[in-house]
Structure 1
């Protein structure tokens, strides 16, 4: 067993041997809490497999952007490729959410990961044969988008199964920690992947990047097959898929905390997230670099996002995360505006770090709050709308960013989109008091915050099941 997992388990055993309430228990608990989701074997397998596969995913992202820019030199086509790869998620996410709730989620994920691996290998074969054109890139991007439409809500709703003891109930705090740790490995990959991609592209070209990504899917498929997960017992649906979709939409639009969070992140996804498709332009034209510069910029954003994910993993409760969503939106918008003004690599790297921190802080915090609030029988559908808000709006943003960059230039584009994110944060600030009023009684019922006459310590014991 890797040292990290051994340390997490030994910390857990030490905490159990230490008398409750002692200062030593609190000290040990504070350290071990950051890794508590790794107590679950299934999550450890997932953590290991994803750590390998996600590096390959980021290598492919960078290689695809650079390949498109090398073949066409067009900022607009960078946006078009981003649009083609994400529009299927927007169109299919509500339908996919119903499918996720009707299927065994592990089997679904095995299928999507195998198909994603095949897609990467097809991209590799065409590129290495030097016959790839923008048309093949667009077609394979659409295929990846179709796969992601089912994979993302399936993966998000499967997290709770991986931190649920067999025959037991899911622990909401372990779920929050699993989301934070999942964000950590995403951003470790985001840090390593672009740097590796820059080296490989410069040395042997984009085709080898796609080949490495295709092989990396073996790790995540193997980890899923090795899990001991009992088949979820789901009642045979009595309503049609259309009625279930309508029920999910009514829940999301009628429950103010989820509606408000998803609205903010739909705006940020539309206006802010597509800054990544413009990175090749910043690397080549603004900062006068090459693929290595592109890798450094994306890696700096990954460092900021990783710092954010670690800080969230250290948290012992979901309390205060609505404020984090608010602050992160301001941070993200400000980072984009300042990045658009920068023409120096060192300053741009620092600003990418700030931008990455704000982006991931809001993304992981909103995911944790939503998954804490949503009932299990609606989890797949709600997470499909979360996917739709986060990923589904991005294709329109990619198209918009490409068009704006074509007419006004990449620096002015990110300044405009950053300003839109700050306006969204201001709107969210006006909604926050009423959102907290709705959340508070739910958190009291769950034991996350103390109710009337209940102490903080008693609330913690209620939450942990002690």
Structure 2
């Protein structure tokens, strides 16, 4: 008697699963996702270790900000050239080189730490070199997705990339905290170097047609000018790319100050640092999976505005907390709101831009999303050094809230109902 209802419910669950994970039907994307997932776990292990090492050596929030800035300045300087390269050279070839170089840089810093020769200057140099490689790697990876899944599954693949990134964000910091507590900082760098093997194997195993899409026939300078001209005449894309700049400068630097919150605000050690960063990953993963399931939701402007405002609100409340369980809960909210805002923006950009200019447009997106981080790291480090980390996080969150309310909201809400 209830069989038809049960069958309908089962079919609905299968349909939801098929929608949520539709990009996985593409073999190349499965290889890419699995390799990147392992590699990103290693990257998060190193990120936590990096912050702990710098703060342990210097006990200076300002110097924490300088290291973060050193890794992001090259993206500000070189990402446009990286985008041109992504539109001129086979993307898989670029990624094989960039991922190999990132592995070697992690290995080099790990050896310096293990032999007790590491100095603050070494950390700055490796951060700058890593940022230089990322200036090419990041826009190439983002533009590579459409070649693996096609436009029909692009939105779902972007959401699953966010889920992958934030699953690693959940696991990596916990592994880092345990590793630092048991063995010290050096093994974290070796773990990261080894993790790149997975993504390199995935890239080598991929299968493409011999005529992989390379769009450019002009000079590199002509390609750069064409990309800038395209953006100037694309107001919707300009609005979306501009919409990540303010949160990148005033909101995102909260993560750079997590070692200060772990040690000085919550009076914990590396395990507490790992928990704080993993809590953000839990919320971000929840947000990514939600967006993956809602890939056909029409009013994405509402997601942008809501994500921006909730991100700021949760950050303000987190800055006021002195109790670890409450801080962890609030960081889950921060992660959910952050990924809702960022992944929605990325999805709208990727589904709007023309294919032949995708690398250059995503380079500009990366410049605004990551390349402006030096400004944010420096301002947050300076404010934290003078007024304390909680004030720095709260002040930046207020700026983000005002921006979402008075700049993003008027255009995004009209756009979502268009």
TM-score (norm 2): 0.95
Write the distance in 2 (CA, Å) between the matches of 1:224 and 1:401. Answer: 38
Write the distance in 2 (CA, Å) between the matches of 1:322 and 1:380. Answer: 24
Cα-to-partner distance string for 1:335-373 (whole Å, 9 max, x where unaligned): 111111111111111111111111111111111111111
> Within 5 Å, which residues of 2 pair with 1:199-218?
199-218=178-197
Say yes or no: does 1:429 pair with 2:409.
Answer: yes
Q: 2:73 aligns with which of 87, 90, 104?
A: 87
Cα-to-partner distance string for 1:363-414 (whole Å, 9 max, x where unaligned): 1111111111111011011100111111011111011110110111100000
Shift of 1:136: 0.3
Which residue number corresponds to residue 344 of structure 2?
Answer: 365
SS of residue paired to 1:113: helix
Shift of 1:431: 1.7
Cα-to-partner distance string for 1:51-73 (whole Å, 9 max, x where unaligned): 11110000000000000001111
Which residue number corresponds to residue 291 of structure 1?
Answer: 270
Structure 1: give runs of 5+ residues left out of the alignment.
Answer: 1-21, 165-169, 441-466
Structure 2: give runs of 5+ residues left out of the alignment.
Answer: 1-7
Shift of 1:286: 0.5
SS of residue paired to 1:417: helix
Q: 1:384 aligns with which of 363, 372, 379?
A: 363
Which residue number corresponds to residue 175 of structure 1?
Answer: 154
> Within 5 Å, which residues of 2 pair with 1:269-348?
269-317=248-296, 319-348=298-327
Which residue number corresponds to residue 212 of structure 2?
Answer: 232
Which residue number corresponds to residue 332 of structure 2?
Answer: 353
> Within 5 Å, which residues of 2 pair with 1:31-110?
31-110=17-96
Cα-to-partner distance string for 1:114-166 (whole Å, 9 max, x where unaligned): 000000000111000010000000000001000110000000000011113xx
SS of residue paired to 1:137: helix
Shift of 1:322: 2.2
Question: Contact between 1:256 and 1:435, CA under 8 Å: does it hold in 2?
Answer: no
Which residue number corresponds to residue 114 of structure 2?
Answer: 128
TM-score (norm 1): 0.85
Question: Contact between 1:176 and 1:318, CA under 8 Å: does it hold in 2?
Answer: no
Which residue number corresponds to residue 372 of structure 2?
Answer: 393
Say yes or no: does 1:259 pair with 2:238.
Answer: yes
For the aligned residue pairs, the C-alpha RMSD in angstroms reads 1.5
SS of residue paired to 1:431: helix
- Work out which structure has the larger RCO, using CA pairs closer than 8 Å and 6 or more positions apart in sequence: 2
> Within 5 Å, which residues of 2 pair with 1:179-198?
179-198=158-177
Aligned positions, number: 409
Shift of 1:250: 2.6
Cα-to-partner distance string for 1:153-207 (whole Å, 9 max, x where unaligned): 000000011113xxxxx31xx1111111111111111011001100111111110
Write the distance in 1 (CA, Å) between the matches of 2:22 and 2:194. Answer: 30
Say yes or no: does 1:30 pair with 2:16.
Answer: yes
Say yes or no: does 1:118 pair with 2:107.
Answer: no
Shift of 1:255: 1.5
Question: Contact between 1:405 and 1:412, CA under 8 Å: does it hold in 2?
Answer: yes
SS of residue paired to 1:131: coil
Write the distance in 2 (CA, Å) between the matches of 1:358 and 1:99. Answer: 33
Write the distance in 2 (CA, Å) between the matches of 1:235 and 1:23. Answer: 46
Question: Contact between 2:216 and 2:223, CA under 8 Å: does it hold in 1?
Answer: no
Question: Contact between 2:113 and 2:186, CA under 8 Å: does it hold in 1?
Answer: yes
Deviates more, 1:226-235 or 1:82-91: 226-235
Question: Contact between 1:76 and 1:402, CA under 8 Å: does it hold in 2?
Answer: yes
Which residue number corresponds to residue 141 of structure 1?
Answer: 127
Shift of 1:82: 0.1
Write the distance in 2 (CA, Å) between the matches of 1:313 and 1:124. Answer: 36
Which residue number corresponds to residue 382 of structure 2?
Answer: 403
Question: Contact between 2:49 and 2:188, CA under 8 Å: does it hold in 1?
Answer: yes
Cα-to-partner distance string for 1:299-351 (whole Å, 9 max, x where unaligned): 00000000001101112415222221111100111111111111111111111
Write the distance in 1 (CA, Å) between the matches of 2:82 and 2:414. Answer: 31
Shift of 1:110: 0.7
Go from structure 1 to structure 2 and tell me whether the alpha carbon gap of 1:252 and 1:400 turns closer, same or farther (over 3 Å shift).
same
Go from structure 1 to structure 2 and tell me whether the alpha carbon gap of 1:289 and 1:433 turns closer, same or farther (over 3 Å shift).
closer
Write the distance in 1 (CA, Å) between the matches of 2:388 and 2:232. Answer: 37
SS of residue paired to 1:272: helix
Go from structure 1 to structure 2 and tell me whether the alpha carbon gap of 1:235 and 1:393 turns closer, same or farther (over 3 Å shift).
closer
